[in-house]
Structure 1
Amino acid sequence: TSSDAQLVYARSLRQSLASDPHRPAYHFTAPANWLNDPNGLIQWRGQYHLFYQYNPNGAYHGTIHWGHAVSGDLVHWTDMPVALSPTPDGHDAAGCWSGCAVDNMGTPTLLYTGVYPQVVCLATSDDDLVTWRKHPRDPVIDGPPAEIRDACGGHFRDPFVWRSDGKWSMLIGAKVEGSGGLVLLYQSEDLLQWTYVGPVIRGDVASPDPFWTGTMWECPNFLDFGRRQALIISAQATHADLLYPFYASGQFDGARFSTEIQSILVNGVPGYFYAPQVMRADDGRYLMWGWLREGRSERACIDAGWAGAMSLPLEVSMELDGRLCVEPAQELASLRSQHWSFAGRLLADGTDEFLPDVSGDALEIVAQFEALSAGEVGLKLRASPDGREYTRLIVQPTQHQVIIKRDNTSLLGDLDRDLCTAPIPAQGANGTITLRIFLDRSVLEVFVNGGLSSVVARIYPSLPESLGVGLFSRGGSARLKSLDIWSLASIW
């Protein structure tokens, strides 16, 4: 069958790229070509389904389809046939853009953005989730509401749908020229006929406080923690430059959201972690994936034959004070293999040393530091023995920030080298700073103090021997309280 042929082809594509030293081993990637936003996250009959924005024609954004993969354990994935393809002369002729999946009384249902113009489309499947039929009544929403139609420039996308109080609610991202991003609310009894309720939350393009939220809001998510609710939104700047996902934590009264806390969800160079989507697992956890953009040129991606990776599967929880906490899913511990453990010790001012016998480009590292007098303390990763290549992960206790410094990360040209920084949230006892680091070839995901802050970077070392791990302390002494390192197995 054509779907069998697709899967054989997907397997051959994966095998052809398996030896690429920059291709992640335990982060999900498309078989080849272009991947961006996670879509349609759903747990169906116990299996986790991950759909994603996919261009089968090359490692660049265009002719967007919905790729599809399935997992029984959140860790290992099996490629499935492409779920949605643009229909020539259809409402999605230029692409099947982002959206979500819901269980409509036993019928798996996708609601997604058709382009152009940007409209909401619907597709259903039998319960295998392999073959999808587009609904004859598409589009179920034919464009922005009248009140913003002339002011949004056609920007109206990324439906996120959930059921509560006997009805369906939909959030959708939009903008008002000169005013900022906003999230719109619709409601429905049957997923086909939708009533516009109004804007749930609005941005202010003129306000830099507590950070700038851009000109367009994409990929809205709604999370209900009982006493408080949260929205996760991806902010975009002018000319479609990606910024960052942020969250608003507060109260949702069914029509309007009142914000108590607003914070960046995951830090890094703008766009490095973007367009996250959440799902509610059967066990009640909120699980989230984000799109990890490349840090090299489009030309380099096309030459490599692939672009984009998913973040780790992440668990999103809420602290008592309303802050969101983002941590890697507990299932990832199943990938741990070789283990190195180092006793706590003092790192004198000027320490800069390799850890003996530790090397790898697919590692999990848990490090606890106590700064003492040090201005900077941290780790060197992907370090070559001759010192020509390394990436520094720096803790600056007095500035309350963690930095990924990439000046010496690679001898290759044409790479992003901007600093990636994240705030250090309130420290533990004695000013202890805990870093949980996931290094996966070109991907670096770092979680600070239990996931109250995190930062993502992309690195592309050129030397095959750039596999070392080191420790350093500058501007004073620091205490390494504990250090555990595991090599992680490939998910393929």
Structure 2
Amino acid sequence: MNSRRILLCLWLASLAVAHGADTPRDYTSRVPKFTFAEDLAAQEAQLKDNPLMQRFREERHALAADPLRPAYHFYSPEAQLNDPNGLCFWRGRWHLFYQANPPDDHRWHWAHAVSDDLIHWRDLPYAIYPNPEEQCYSGATYVDGNRVIAMYHGRELGNMAATSHDPLLLNWEKVTGTTVIPLNKDGKRYHFLSAEPLPYRIYDACIWKKGDTYYSLSGSVDYNGPAGKPMLAEFLFRSRDLAKWEFVHQFVEGNRFTPPGDDGACPYFWPIGDRHILIFFSHTSSAQYLLGDYDTQNDKFNVTAHGRFCFGPVLPGAVQAPSATPDGQGGVIAIFNMNPAIAGHRSDGLMTLPRRLTLVGKEDLHQEPAGDIESLRGAHQHLDAKLLPANQEIVLPDIHGNTMELNADIDPKGAPMVELNVLRSANAEEITRIALFRNRQVTSRFMPPQQKLSVVTLDNTRSSLLADAQSRPPETASVLIPPDEPFHLRVFIDRSVVEVFINGRQCLAVRVQPSRSDSVGVSLRAQGQDAELRSLDAWQMKSIYK
């Protein structure tokens, strides 16, 4: 929940007090809603002339000239974009849902896009509309045989369940027509942060199935942490029919990794390799994950490891909330929204590239770009091995652009730091810096095997000269790189976003807001001692928007 969302909640709460909190209210959305056919050909024919689709096309056309609008990262066609929701694979296509505020009704709806390859996204009409809930908050989907189930939080009511079974998931029906896990007891309504007199708190939800029983988590906090401080909590529920849910207990066991103040919003719980992963968002410290083992007999998640997808504050310009789904091959596909680095700019919300998460060994999470990213590659340039003399910035005159993919192999040799700079203006007035530090951190001096970790920093503090651009402390993450491996970087530059994948083992991403038309250069620099650029490939990237 970002600051705008909190202010909206406070305003709506004041309205509820003014009108009487127990008075039923009509929350019917003012956004046009349509019922679609049940076969694919008929649906496609209906979509061609659908007024919402025409609206989306016109708005995307109008936005195309915005110099900060991404070319190959997904963004909403007409509304503020917030959390991604319900990523799933259904009948040969990937479906992405996300929170959006339509212009004709500024409340969260579930918006919808579909893709054949996880890269080229096509807009579809809004999927889930508020009413009887006041807004549609975050949740997840589960592909259950011949239908897809959505489990999400409905503001003022509780957690909701809805189902769809048509080819493009255009028609949704809410189970029971109202909340299935209510925010009340004995007819009394309680705020989602207050558990009284309930033994749990209800908020963002996920769903899975074990045997013939459905399970759902409600991500929130437990106020029984150290010194009464709130701690991450995931409250477990189960059901046989999606309509009646039973509270079981707190799900996470042995979590000593997340600090006081973290909550477990936007949970996604899936198998990965022979273990399980819980991906979530903390309003304090952003997107993270817990690795562990699913005790299916006692319905507990025994946690043994932890990691982050964001390495600094939630705001500004950071990776934020996740959506995730199994890839069918032992991995998990995850996508995140990124919040703005210029307040109020139309490019404020976008999605990261999808990532494929896999487990290597017992606790090593690997990350690679997912989907057919190579299909976007256009003009290509290649550089062979090149010496990087100590303390000299080497500008690559033939490599430049603001929608590029760079693949670079860099051997630091004895240099304590090597940097790869992108979106560099002619005299480095604007520059985005990727700094590489080899073998700078010991995993543990008390626990074998002792390994030296490298450190990578993605720094946007000099990315923009704009007065209203908001930089963030440099994103800094450790990564295990074996002694015989150079740094292998895959850098995705897309106007207002930079994502860096490091040796398939780590990923950093930030928003950037270059203001100069010449902020397109690339350079390298070795600090202290010589280093070597072993090779570099650069591709100009095509737009995913027609």
Instruction: Determine if the TM-score, normalized by the shorter chain, exceeds 0.5.
Output: yes
2:202 corresponds to 1:141: no
What's the secondary structure of 1:136's corresponding residue?
helix
Instruction: Report 1:277-426 matches (<5 A).
Output: 277-282=323-328, 285-298=331-344, 301=345, 305-399=346-440, 400-426=454-480
Q: How far 1:16 moved relative to its partner?
A: 0.8
Unaligned runs of 5+ in 2: 1-31, 35-49, 187-192, 224-228, 441-453
Q: How far 1:104 moved relative to its partner?
A: 3.6
What amino acid maps onto 1:35 in structure 2?
L
For 1:40, the equivalent position in structure 2 comes to: 86
For 2:512, the equivalent position in structure 1 comes to: 459
1:371 and 1:113 map into 2 onto residues whose CA distance is 49
Q: Give aligned pairs, total.
A: 470
Q: How far 1:154 moved relative to its partner?
A: 8.9
Q: How far 1:223 moved relative to its partner?
A: 2.0
For 2:286, the equivalent position in structure 1 comes to: 244
For 2:489, the equivalent position in structure 1 comes to: 435
What's the secondary structure of 1:9's corresponding residue?
helix
Aligned-residue sequence identity (percent) comes to 31
2:535 corresponds to 1:476: no
2:243 corresponds to 1:212: no
Deviations 1:189-213 (A, max 9, x none): 1222212111111698xxxx75636
CA contact (8 A) 1:111 1:121 kept: yes
Q: How far 1:490 moved relative to its partner?
A: 0.6
1:105 and 1:331 map into 2 onto residues whose CA distance is 27
Structure 1 residues 154 and 171, CA, compared in 2 at 3 Å: closer, same or farther? closer
What's the secondary structure of 1:63's corresponding residue?
coil
Q: How far 1:137 moved relative to its partner?
A: 4.4
2:245 corresponds to 1:194: yes
CA contact (8 A) 2:156 2:183 kept: no
Q: How far 1:72 moved relative to its partner?
A: 1.4
For 2:295, the equivalent position in structure 1 comes to: 253
Under a length normalisation based on structure 2, what TM-score does the superposition of the two structures give? 0.81
Structure 1 residues 265 and 392, CA, compared in 2 at 3 Å: closer, same or farther? closer
1:219 and 1:334 map into 2 onto residues whose CA distance is 31
CA contact (8 A) 2:68 2:347 kept: no
Deviations 1:86-138 (A, max 9, x none): 22xx2x11x10111222344133322110025x11122234141122223342
2:359 and 2:330 map into 1 onto residues whose CA distance is 13
What amino acid maps onto 1:80 in structure 2?
L
For 2:9, the equivalent position in structure 1 comes to: none
Structure 1 residues 144 and 182, CA, compared in 2 at 3 Å: closer, same or farther? farther
CA contact (8 A) 2:432 2:459 kept: yes
- Greater alpha carbon shift after TM alignment, 17-26 vs 410-419: 410-419
What's the secondary structure of 2:375's corresponding residue?
helix
The equivalent position to 2:214 in structure 1, one of 139, 144, 168, is 168
Q: How far 1:231 moved relative to its partner?
A: 1.3
Unaligned runs of 5+ in 1: 238-242
The equivalent position to 2:282 in structure 1, one of 235, 242, 253, is 235
2:257 corresponds to 1:225: no
Q: How far 1:395 moved relative to its partner?
A: 1.1
2:362 and 2:387 map into 1 onto residues whose CA distance is 34
Under a length normalisation based on structure 1, what TM-score does the superposition of the two structures give? 0.89
Structure 1 residues 409 and 148, CA, compared in 2 at 3 Å: closer, same or farther? closer
CA contact (8 A) 2:253 2:300 kept: no
CA contact (8 A) 2:272 2:330 kept: no
Structure 1 residues 455 and 153, CA, compared in 2 at 3 Å: closer, same or farther? farther
Q: How far 1:396 moved relative to its partner?
A: 2.2
Deviations 1:143-175 (A, max 9, x none): 389998229999522211112223211122011
2:351 and 2:482 map into 1 onto residues whose CA distance is 30
Structure 1 residues 262 and 151, CA, compared in 2 at 3 Å: closer, same or farther? farther
1:358 and 1:151 map into 2 onto residues whose CA distance is 62
What amino acid maps onto 2:245 in structure 1?
W
Structure 1 residues 210 and 126, CA, compared in 2 at 3 Å: closer, same or farther? closer
What amino acid maps onto 2:529 in structure 1?
G
CA contact (8 A) 1:109 1:124 kept: yes
For 1:240, the equivalent position in structure 2 comes to: none
What amino acid maps onto 1:110 in structure 2?
A
For 2:74, the equivalent position in structure 1 comes to: 28
Q: How far 1:54 moved relative to its partner?
A: 0.4
CA contact (8 A) 1:369 1:480 kept: yes
1:488 and 1:342 map into 2 onto residues whose CA distance is 18
CA contact (8 A) 2:342 2:348 kept: no
What amino acid maps onto 1:191 in structure 2?
L
2:122 corresponds to 1:78: yes
1:21 and 1:159 map into 2 onto residues whose CA distance is 36
CA contact (8 A) 1:108 1:127 kept: no
Deviations 1:286-307 (A, max 9, x none): 2111111112223xx2xxx342
CA contact (8 A) 1:102 1:110 kept: yes
Q: How far 1:392 moved relative to its partner?
A: 1.3
Deviations 1:241-261 (A, max 9, x none): xx2222211211022122211
1:57 and 1:154 map into 2 onto residues whose CA distance is 35
The equivalent position to 1:69 in structure 2, one of 102, 110, 113, is 113
- Greater alpha carbon shift after TM alignment, 173-182 vs 421-430: 421-430
What's the secondary structure of 2:204's corresponding residue?
strand
2:384 and 2:347 map into 1 onto residues whose CA distance is 40
Q: How far 1:458 moved relative to its partner?
A: 0.8
What's the secondary structure of 1:295's corresponding residue?
coil
Structure 1 residues 152 and 443, CA, compared in 2 at 3 Å: closer, same or farther? farther
1:169 and 1:475 map into 2 onto residues whose CA distance is 56
- Greater alpha carbon shift after TM alignment, 123-132 vs 361-370: 123-132
Q: How far 1:76 moved relative to its partner?
A: 1.0
What amino acid maps onto 1:349 in structure 2?
A
What amino acid maps onto 1:342 in structure 2?
L
What amino acid maps onto 2:213 in structure 1?
K
1:315 and 1:379 map into 2 onto residues whose CA distance is 25
- Greater alpha carbon shift after TM alignment, 268-277 vs 463-472: 268-277
